[in-house]
Amino acid sequence: MNEQEKIRVVIADRDMFYLQKLKLCLERKGDMTVVGMADNGAAAFRMILETKPEVVLLDAILGEKDGVWVLENMKQQQIQCVCIMISAIDSDALVRRAIAMGADYYMAKPIQGELLLERIRQLTEVRTVYMEPSPGNFIQPLQNNQHQMSALEVDISAILSRMGIPASIKGYHFIRRAVFMAVENREVMVGITKGLYPDIARMYHTTASKVERAIRHAVEHAWKKNGRQVYFEISGYFMTEKPTNGQFIAILAEYFRMGGRCKFSTGGYQDPVHTETQAEVGEKKVILFS
């Protein structure tokens, strides 16, 4: 892969040794290149302006001008890139502030290297299809080429991500749109095969049968990952068998319609941007960063 095809990344952390480890992790697969490293917020923002990266990885604590300050200035300058905040501070208030300032994702240290690479690829793919209109692209709505995600869509994305559904599959985007529509209007859940699926199909230039199949595949994928546990937290009952498409969409829609409050989560709903925790990556054997 030549340099022009690689994902350009700027990273910022107070620990220069950590930055070097992070750089090695990002570049080892050959599809990313670190174009700038900084140990303070002011330097990080200058590098972002100079190098115009596709991805920015920020620690929350970067001295007087911290990671949130960088996000605020990026927002003011209308800089369009994927922003991931990585921090040892696992705080709901910080997560909410970061997303309000434009962060796409939040990961709590220690993080697993492969998981970080996967999230970067997913987020850059999603941003590319939303920011670069292409008539043949399956996730580009018919009447909104410059699609901007609402707060509700961000919340839905966070839950789907927590369930383990990758943004790289079609069903992820179809489910998000279906849940959004169902929150706005309960009636769309009446006869979804003749109403909801065709409506989504028209938005994404596909067929109703392909929408149904892609959603079913995404639900199956979630059930092999963390979907069963998250579904339990949301619905209040444990299902051994995976739900139908309609059940899955209806439960999520009702959850967000009621304000997104998990019945069994000690901290309530805390997912405006999903926070990766050690428990969620327990199946991963190697933790690269601390």
90 and 141 together in one domain: no
Q: Give the Cα-Cα-Cα angle 260, 116, 285 (nearest 5 degrees).
A: 100
CATH of the domain at 14: 3.40.50.2300
Q: Which residues contact 26 (CB under 8 A, 6 or more apart)?
A: 9, 11, 32, 33, 34, 116, 117, 120
Does residue 121 fall inside a structural domain? Answer: no
The domain of 12 spans 1-109
Q: Three-class SS of residue 172? A: helix
C-alpha distances (whole Å) from 5 to each of 32, 136, 167, 212, 241 are: 9, 21, 20, 34, 42
Strand runs labelled E in the chain: 7-12, 32-38, 55-58, 82-87, 105-108, 275-276
State the chain's maximal CA–CA distance in angstroms: 57
195 and 64 together in one domain: no
SS3 for 4-56, per residue? HHCEEEEEECCCHHHHHHHHHHHHCCCCEEEEEEECCHHHHHHHHHHHCCCEE
171 and 224 together in one domain: yes
Are residues 138 and 205 in contact, defined by beta-carbon separation less than 8 angstroms?
Answer: yes
199 and 151 together in one domain: yes
53 and 90 together in one domain: yes
pTM of the model: 0.51
Tokens 């670190």 belong to which residue? 34
DSSP type of residue 139: T
The residue out of 76, 109, 142 marking a domain boundary is: 109
101 and 145 together in one domain: no
Whether omega before 135 lies within 30 degrees of 0, making that bond cis, reads no
Does residue 119 fall inside a structural domain? Answer: no
Does residue 284 fall inside a structural domain? Answer: no
pLDDT of residue 54: 93
CATH of the domain at 269: 1.10.10.10
95 and 146 together in one domain: no
pLDDT in tens, the chain (290 residues): 677 789 999 999 999 999 999 999 999 988 999 999 999 999 999 999 999 999 999 999 898 899 999 999 998 998 889 899 888 876 667 777 787 788 888 888 888 888 888 888 877 875 544 444 333 333 333 333 333 446 777 788 888 888 888 877 889 999 999 999 988 888 888 878 888 999 999 988 899 999 999 999 999 988 888 888 888 888 777 777 888 999 999 989 888 888 754 333 333 333 333 344 333 433 333 344 44
Q: Three-class SS of residue 247? A: helix
144 and 225 together in one domain: yes
Does residue 23 fall inside a structural domain? Answer: yes
Strand partners, 107: 86, 276
